[in-house]
Structure 1
């Protein structure tokens, strides 16, 4: 079972929810926010396994290429350019769709591996953490997100800390999840971006509920907004300075009984919604 934790915007507290929920429920954790993964800061020290991850990019056989330019014409991402003497490949723009390989009249193109990042995994106290680490300068994170998801052990429930927003990264991370927990805050930006993210989840057919972080700070009535959208409110996390301080120091909130109860109740609410 895969449970995604996502947000319409950054900074709402999805990592805070992910790391504490996985810890209190004793579940595996995956960090799919590969551009800036940080869940490992809350997992504890231990040995890790690092595996390079590559994505396919075109490699031109210049002896076979007649510079017809068909590859550049069919590339939807402008990753190939016909120059007077050769075909130039912009690997950073390539999405690995394979159209150029399949449609080259001279069969002068093969796919080669372009290293884009690493898959990191570690285990501690019966729980497993896996996350992706995208190399600096890489524009396309989707293949690495796919690699992280493919590495998850079947039959084990995993909490997945997903990228923020509603871009391709978020879509790839939440797609096919058994449930999605949307983390928001009672601010105008939080409400606006939550609405966009709920639209995405509805289009993908992923069942979901909402957690309100920084509850009590005033601002937008998220409960009323969720009611108007038919989205269940699973729970809330209070707006307290000590929560922000402890999280910023890499500490789990569940070390305190009152906060541990908050995340136990949240996990119970998720289970009830999934059974209903």
Structure 2
């Protein structure tokens, strides 16, 4: 059972929900927010395995290249450009599709390899934890996300997705059987939640909503859920105490009152999502 936790925007509390629900469900925690993976700051796993993420990129042999521009024309990602009589490579834009090598009539293109990030794995509180880390200045997170989610363990896997609705989220969502959308009670929260709902519906997987920083009123998010007939899994109250705990890098699940909140959310999630 792979559960994706996502949000239409950053700062809604997605990682707070993910880390604490992982403890409540005794689930494997996978941090796919590879540009800023902070779930480990709270779960504090002991990392015992590390693996590099390697991608391929074209290498042009100047002695064979005739600067015909066929490789430039076929590249859909603008990683190659013809400047006068020379072919320029923008290495970090390359997706490694191999099209340039196929169309080259002069066998001037081979492929090299380079490191763009890494995968870390460990354990904390009897749950398996893993995260991807994208190297600084690298623009493409998808290869790291794909490697991180390849060959997921049996049982419950809780996938902490990147924020927003970009291709990074899309690639994480491909591995999900169900989804939990985290939002907050604001116009911005509602606007971006609607985009996340559209994205999840494209994959036709069951999903529900968790409201963070709930003001205990009949707010715009609750009205939206009722109008659209979207299951509301539960709420996390707007609380200074929660903010203080979070700022210290501690998990809410260690505090009795907050533990009850996430135990309730875990039970409600099983009722809302297609559980198996």
TM tier, shorter chain? Answer: over 0.9
Q: Distance in 1 between matches of 2:62 and 2:205?
A: 46
Q: Distance in 2 between matches of 1:104 and 1:228?
A: 56
Q: Distance in 2 between matches of 1:124 and 1:151?
A: 20
Aligned twin of 2:272: 273
Q: Distance in 2 between matches of 1:30 and 1:19?
A: 9
Aligned twin of 2:69: 69
Listed one character per residue, the Cα deviations across residues 117-172 of structure 1 (whole Å, up to 9, x for unaligned) are: 1111112343111101111111111111111111532x231111101111111111
CA separation of 1:268 and 1:88: change in aligned 2, threshold 3 A = same
Query: How far is the alpha carbon of 1:234 from its aligned partner?
Result: 0.3
Alignment of 1:94-113 (within 5 A): 94-113=94-113
Listed one character per residue, the Cα deviations across residues 215-248 of structure 1 (whole Å, up to 9, x for unaligned) are: 0176942111012223211000000011011012
Aligned twin of 1:128: 128
CA separation of 1:185 and 1:83: change in aligned 2, threshold 3 A = same
Aligned twin of 1:163: 162
Query: How far is the alpha carbon of 1:67 from its aligned partner?
Result: 1.1
Query: Is 1:239 paired with 2:238?
Result: yes
Unpaired runs of 5+ in structure 1?
none
Figure out how many residues of one structure are paired with residues of the other and give that number.
275
SS at match of 2:46: coil
CA separation of 1:62 and 1:224: change in aligned 2, threshold 3 A = same
Task: Kindly report structure 1 stretches of 4+ aligned residues shifted beyond 4 Å.
Answer: 217-220
Q: Distance in 2 between matches of 1:268 and 1:219?
A: 23
Contact 1:176 1:206 in 2 (8 A): no
Aligned twin of 2:48: 48
Q: Distance in 1 between matches of 2:206 and 2:67?
A: 50
Listed one character per residue, the Cα deviations across residues 29-61 of structure 1 (whole Å, up to 9, x for unaligned) are: 000000000011112252432211112211112
Contact 1:132 1:144 in 2 (8 A): yes
Aligned twin of 2:116: 116
Aligned twin of 2:204: 205
Using the TM superposition, name which of 8-17 and 123-132 deviates more: 123-132
Contact 2:45 2:123 in 1 (8 A): no
Unpaired runs of 5+ in structure 2?
none
What is the aligned-residue RMSD (CA, Å)? 1.7
Q: Distance in 1 between matches of 2:226 and 2:218?
A: 17
TM-score by length of 1: 0.94
Aligned twin of 2:175: 176
Q: Distance in 2 between matches of 1:17 and 1:205?
A: 23
TM-score by length of 2: 0.94
SS at match of 2:53: strand
